[in-house]
Amino acid sequence: MGQRAAIYCRVSTADQSCERQERDLATFADRAGYDVAAVFKETGSGAKLDRAERRKVMALAQARKIDAVLVTELSRWGRSTVDLLNTLRELEGWKVSVIAMNGMAFDLSSPHGRMLATLLSGIAEFERDLISERVKSGLAAAKARGKVLGRQTGERPKSDRLAPKVMALIAEGRSYRWIARDLSISKNTVADVVQRNRIDVKTPEEA
Which residues are designated catalytic? 12
Q: Are 4 and 65 in contact (CB under 8 A)?
A: yes
Region of 175 on the Ramachandran plot (φ > 0 left; ψ -120 to 50 alpha; else beta): beta
Q: Give the Cα separation of 90 and 98 in Å (integer).
A: 11
CA distances from 27 to 5, 59, 113 (A): 13, 24, 24
* Residue 42: strand, helix, or coil: strand
Q: Give the Cα separation of 160 and 16 in Å (integer).
A: 15
What count of Cα atoms within 13 Å lies in the side-chain half-sphere of residue 165? 15
Question: Residue 4: in which H helix or E strand, if any?
Answer: strand 4-11
